[in-house]
Amino acid sequence: MNKILTQLQKIKKENRLGIMTHIVAGYPSLQKSEKLLLTMAEAGVDFIEMQIPFSDPMADGPTIMKANKVALNNKTKIKDALDLMSKLTKKIDIPLLFMGYFNTIYNYGLEKFCLDANQAGCSGLIFPDIPLDEEQQENYIEIVRKNDLIDIRLLSPASTQDRIKKNARLAKGFVYFVARKGVTGSEKSLDKSLEKNLNKIKKHLKTPIAVGFGISEKAHLNALKGKAEIAVIGSALLNQYNDKGITGVKNFLKKIG
Amino acid sequence: MKNIKNIFIKTKYDSDNLGHFGKLGGRYAPEMLIPALEELETAFNKAKKDPEFQKELMDLYENYDGRPTPLYYAKNLTKKLGGARIFIKNEGLNHTGAHKMNHSLGQALLAKRMGKKRLIAETGAGQHGLATATVAAKFGFDCTIFMGKVDYERQRPNVFWMEQLGAEVVQVLHGTQRLKDAVTATLQDWIANVDNTYYLLGSVLGPHPYPSMVRDFQTIVGLEVKQQLKENYNINQPDYIIACVGGGSNAIGIFHPFLDDKKVKLIGVEAGGKGVKKIGDHASRLQKNPKIGVVEGYKSYFIQDQDGQIQDTHSISAGLDYSGIGPQHGLLFQKNRVEYHYATDKEVIKAFKILAKQEGIIPALESSHAVAEAVKTAPKLSKNKVIVVNLSGRGEKDIFIVAKALKDKKWQSFLKTQI
C-alpha cells in the first residue's frame, strides 16, 4: 500500500490534524536541505513535500521563489533531487512527495521520472501546472499511477462546481486545497471564507483534504481541526529556518505540535 | 479603402477547442487560474459572435488608434538594395507607436463587457505596457504594469509615459528580470486578484485562449495589407512577408490572412543578439536545437537546459528578449509554413540606420530585425518580386539604447547637462 494511504489511516486513528511541511531540494544547499527534512521528520510531521527547483515557479510567493533561485544557483539538478529522495526514504518512514513544475519532469521524461521517483521511494507528486485538462495530451495521471505514485489533485476557492466534481471523481490519497487566492506565503490570518469553501468541496469529495497557502500559526491549525485532515506549512517554516536556523524549525514544530 | 468588417478568420493552422496547435499550446495553468481562463474564453467566444463588438472595435481602430496604418512603397530602400520591391506596413503609426494597440483595444473592450475593474499586463519594451496604460485611462480601469528591472531601466521613456497615464509600474526583481519574469509576476497578481482583474496579455502566448485571441485582434494588420496591395498597388499577393518575432504577436497578425496561401513566403525574424551559438547571447528559440517545454501556461519552444530550467536571453531590443515563442509559431515552424531566421544586434543597428537615412522612418529596434532580414533578402531577388516588411513599431522609445550603440557624443554631452 502507498505510504500516503497508510499515513492517512494513522492520522485518522489518532484523531488529529496531520501536518505536511515543505523543503526545496538544494536550498540552502543539498546537504542542508537533507538535514532540514530530517529535522522535520524527527519532529513528527506526517508528510513532507520536496520541491524540485524551477526557474519560473509560478504558484510560489517570495520565500519559496527565492529558495528555488538559490537551489538553482547551487546547480541542483533533478538527478540530485532524486538522489536526495532515495537517501532520505532509506532513513525515514513517513511519505515523501515531490512537488514542482511540469517543465522539469517533462524534459527529464515523464515515464522515466515516475519510474525513478518510485524507485527512490517517493510516494506522490504535487505538480500544480499540469491540470486535468491536459490529461489527453500528456497522460500524466495515467503514467504517475502506473508507477505506484499518487498524483495529488489541487482545488482552489475559484474552482467551479464542475471542476470540483471532475477532480473529486479522480482524486486519490488526499486533495490539496489552496486556502486563498494568491501564491504561497505566510499570512497573519486565514481567509474568512475558508470554511465555506471547504464545505463546498467536501460535498463532492471522498478523500481527505490538505489545506495549504498562508498557514503559519498554531491558531490556524486549531481552526482547521475537524474541518480538514492535513495542514500544509510551507513558507512559514522556511521563514523560521531563514531567520533562526534548524533550532527555529524545531521550536516552531514543537510549539504547534 | 473599404472598411474591413470581419477579423475572425479561420485557417488550417488554428488550434483545436482546447487551444492546442498540434501538440503545442494548451492550458497548463494551476487550478487557481483555470476558472478565470474558462470565463475569459466564454466571454471572448460570445463577443466574437456579436456584431456590435466588432463594430465598436472597428470604430476604435479607426477613430482612436488611427487605422488603417499605411502600406508604404519604400522606393529609396528598394533602389539602394537593388532587388525586390519593398513595402513597409507602418504599424509605428498606431496611436502610442506600435501594433500593441490592436490587441489592447480588443481586450479592453472584452474586459469592459466582463465587468472587470482593473487591468494588469506584463511588458518588455514597454510598448504593450504603454498601450495597456492608454486603454486603461480611456476606459477608466485601474492599471498595474509589471516590467523586469532590466527592461525598466533600458526603456525608461515608456515607464515615464505609463506613469503619466495613471498606471502603476512595478519592477520585477526575480529571475532574469526580463519579459518572462514580468509574465510570471503578472500571472501571480492575477491569481491573487482574479475576481475583479483582467490580465491583458501582450502577445500570442500564455494559456488558451490568449494565443488565439491576441492573434485575432492582430489580424487586422494582415487584412489591411491584402487590401492595400490590391487597391493601392494592383498587386494580388506579396511574394514575401517579413516580421520580427519575440512572443510573435505582430508576426502572427500579418501572417494569419496569408497562411493558407502557400505561394506567399513567410519569414519570422528572431533576436540573434551577439550570435546564436551560445545560450545567454541571444533570444533565438528556433535556431539551434529547438527544445519544447511547458512554461507560463503553454507548451512551445523555450530556451532551456537539459533539466527544463529557462535560460538567460540577450537582445538589444527588450521586446524580443524573451525565452519562449507563441505556440502557433511553434506549429508553423514544425509544418515549415514559416521560416524562422535571425538578425544579430549589429545587423539590427545597421538596418536601423539604413531605414532612417533612406526613407525617413525611425523603426523600433524590434522592428529593425525585420528590416535587417529585408536588407539581406531583397538583393537576392528579382525586381518583380514583392516583399512586405511589418514595421511593428516606431523607434523613439529606443533613443537611449540607439544613441549608446552609435556612441553619439552630442547626445552623451547633452545627457550630462540634464543631471
CATH code for position A101: 3.20.20.70
**Residue of B170, B309, B322, B323 to mutate, interface with A, max A Cβ within 10 Å:** B309
- CB pair distance less than 8 Å for A182 and B192: yes
Query: Where does the pLDDT of residue A60 fall: very low under 50, low under 70, confident under 90, or very high at 90 and above?
Result: very high
What pLDDT, on a 0 to 100 scale, did the predictor assign at position B183?
A: 93
Comparing alpha-carbon positions, the chain A residue that sits nearest to B195 is A158
Q: Beta strand A209-212 with A230-233: parallel, antiparallel or unpaired?
A: parallel
Domain boundaries of chain B, sorted by first residue: 20-65+100-214, 71-96+218-410
Strand, helix or coil for residue B30: coil
> Cα B70 from chain centroid?
18
Instruction: Name every chain B residue with its beta carbon within 8 A of the beta carbon of A178.
Output: 31-32
Task: List residues of B with catalytic annotation.
Answer: 100, 122, 392
- Identify the domain containing residue A235 by its residue range: 3-256
Residue with cell 489518532: A14
Q: How many residues does chain B have?
A: 419
The Cα B379–Cα B8 span in angstroms is: 36
> Cα B216 from chain centroid?
13
Angle between helices A30-42 and A235-256 (to 10 degrees): 30
Q: Are B318 and B156 in contact (CB under 8 A)?
A: no
Q: How far is CA A5 from CA A44, A124, A174, B99, B404, in A?
A: 17, 11, 9, 55, 63
Burial category of B140 from C-beta neighbours within 10 Å (exposed 0-12, middle 13-18, buried 19 and up): exposed
Residue with cell 514542482: A100
Report whether pLDDT(A220) > 90.
yes
- CB pair distance less than 8 Å for B309 and A55: yes
Q: Measure CB to CB from residue A58 to each of B23, B30, B194 and give the nearest one.
A: B30
Strand, helix or coil for residue B35: helix
Nine-digit cell string for A78 = 533533478
What pLDDT, on a 0 to 100 scale, did the predictor assign at position A185?
A: 83
- CA-derived radius of gyration, chain A: 17
Instruction: Name every chain B residue with its beta carbon within 8 A of the beta carbon of A78.
Output: 307
Instruction: Name every chain B residue with its beta carbon within 8 A of the beta carbon of A72.
Output: 309
Q: Measure CB to CB from residue B28 to each of A55, A78, A130 and give the nearest one.
A: A130
Number of structural domains in chain A: 1
Class of domain B71-96+218-410: alpha beta
**Catalytic member of A60, A116, A151, A191:** A60
The Cα B401–Cα B303 span in angstroms is: 25
What pLDDT, on a 0 to 100 scale, did the predictor assign at position A182?
A: 86
Q: Are B178 and B148 in contact (CB under 8 A)?
A: yes
Q: In the 3-class helix/strand/coil scheme, how is chain A assigned residue by residue? A: CCHHHHHHHHHHHCCCCEEEEEEECCCCCHHHHHHHHHHHHHCCCCEEEEECCCCCCCCCCHHHHHHHHHHHHCCCCHHHHHHHHHHHHHHCCCCEEEECCHHHHHHHCHHHHHHHHHHCCCCEEECCCCCHHHHHHHCHHHHHHHCCCEECEEECCCCCHHHHHHHHHHCCCCEEEECCCCCCCCCCCCCCCHHHHHHHHHCCCCCCEEEECCCCCHHHHHHHECCECEEEECHHHHHHHHHHHHHHHHHHHHHHC
Work out how many CB contacts closer than 8 A connect A with B.
Answer: 118
What pLDDT, on a 0 to 100 scale, did the predictor assign at position A257?
A: 77
- CB pair distance less than 8 Å for B34 and A155: no
What pLDDT, on a 0 to 100 scale, did the predictor assign at position A187?
A: 76
What pLDDT, on a 0 to 100 scale, did the predictor assign at position A183?
A: 86
The Cα B67–Cα B58 span in angstroms is: 9
**Residue of B183, B294, B299, B303 to mutate, interface with A, max A Cβ within 10 Å:** B294
CA distance A102 to chain B (A): 7
**Residue of B18, B20, B23, B28 to mutate, interface with A, max A Cβ within 10 Å:** B28
What pLDDT, on a 0 to 100 scale, did the predictor assign at position B3?
A: 82
**Catalytic member of A34, A49, A80, A116:** A49
Longest CA–CA separation in chain A, Å: 46
CA distance B300 to chain A (A): 11
DSSP B376-418: HHGGGS-TT-EEEEEE-BBSGGGHHHHHHHTT-HHHHHHHHHT
Interface residue ranges in chain A relative to chain B, Cβ cutoff 8 Å: 54-56, 58-59, 61-62, 65-66, 69, 72, 77-78, 102-108, 128-131, 133-134, 137, 154-156, 158-160, 163, 167, 178, 181-183
Sheet holding B20-21, edge to edge: B20-21, B24-25, B298-301, B292-295
What pLDDT, on a 0 to 100 scale, did the predictor assign at position A184?
A: 84
Where does B20-65+100-214 sit in CATH, by number? Answer: 3.40.50.1100
pLDDT tens over chain B, length 419 residues: 778 989 999 999 999 999 999 999 999 999 999 999 999 999 999 999 999 999 999 999 999 999 999 999 999 999 999 999 999 999 999 999 999 999 999 999 999 999 999 999 999 989 999 999 999 999 999 999 999 999 999 889 999 999 999 999 999 998 889 898 999 999 999 999 999 999 999 999 999 999 999 999 999 999 999 999 999 999 999 999 999 999 999 999 999 999 999 999 999 999 999 999 999 999 999 998 999 999 999 999 999 999 999 999 999 999 999 999 999 999 999 999 999 999 999 999 999 999 999 999 999 999 999 999 999 999 999 999 999 999 999 999 889 999 999 999 999 999 899 87
Instruction: Name every chain B residue with its beta carbon within 8 A of the beta carbon of A187.
Output: none
CA distance B191 to chain A (A): 5
B386, β-bridge pairs:
B85
* Residue burial B266-295, b: 16+ Cβ < 10 Å; e: rest: bbbbbbbbeebeeeebbbbbbeeebebbbb
CA distance B139 to chain A (A): 26
Q: Are A177 and A209 in contact (CB under 8 A)?
A: yes
Instruction: Name every chain A residue with its beta carbon within 8 A of the beta carbon of B33.
Output: 158
Instruction: Name every chain A residue with its beta carbon within 8 A of the beta carbon of B195.
Output: 181
Q: Beta strand A150-151 with B24-25: parallel, antiparallel or unpaired?
A: unpaired
The 10s digit of each residue's pLDDT in A159-216 is 999 999 999 999 999 999 999 888 888 778 888 899 999 999 999 999 999 999 989 8
Instruction: Name every chain B residue with its beta carbon within 8 A of the beta carbon of A106.
Output: 293-294, 308
- CB pair distance less than 8 Å for A106 and B308: yes
To the query of whether residue A162 is one of the catalytic residues in this protein, the response is no
Q: Which helix (H) or strand (E) holds B242?
A: strand B240-244
Strand, helix or coil for residue B128: helix
Across A237-248, average pLDDT: 96
- Asked, colleague to colleague, whether B20-65+100-214 and B71-96+218-410 share their fold, the answer is yes
What pLDDT, on a 0 to 100 scale, did the predictor assign at position B119?
A: 98
Instruction: Name every chain A residue with its beta carbon within 8 A of the beta carbon of B181.
Output: 56
Comparing alpha-carbon positions, the chain B residue that sits nearest to A181 is B192
The Cα B3–Cα B412 span in angstroms is: 47
* Residue burial A176-205, b: 16+ Cβ < 10 Å; e: rest: bbbbbbbbbbbbeebbeebeebbeebbebb
What pLDDT, on a 0 to 100 scale, did the predictor assign at position B147?
A: 97
Q: Measure CB to CB from residue B306 to each of A107, A155, A160 and give the nearest one.
A: A107
Sheet holding B168-172, edge to edge: B168-172, B142-148, B118-123, B197-199
**Closest residue by Cα to residue A57 from A48, A49, A68:** A68
CA distance A13 to chain B (A): 31
Instruction: Please provide the distance, in angstroms rounded to a whole number, between the alpha carbons at the two ends of chain A.
Output: 27
- CB pair distance less than 8 Å for A107 and B20: no
- CB pair distance less than 8 Å for A130 and B310: no
Q: Which helix (H) or strand (E) holds B295?
A: strand B292-295
What ipTM does the predicted assembly reach? 0.96
CA distance A163 to chain B (A): 8
Amino acid in the structure at residue B160: F
Q: Are B246 and B329 in contact (CB under 8 A)?
A: no
- CA-derived radius of gyration, chain B: 20
Instruction: Name every chain A residue with its beta carbon within 8 A of the beta carbon of B306.
Output: 107
**Residue of B307, B310, B311, B323 to mutate, interface with A, max A Cβ within 10 Å:** B307
Comparing alpha-carbon positions, the chain B residue that sits nearest to A65 is B174
What pLDDT, on a 0 to 100 scale, did the predictor assign at position A101?
A: 98
What pLDDT, on a 0 to 100 scale, did the predictor assign at position B2?
A: 74
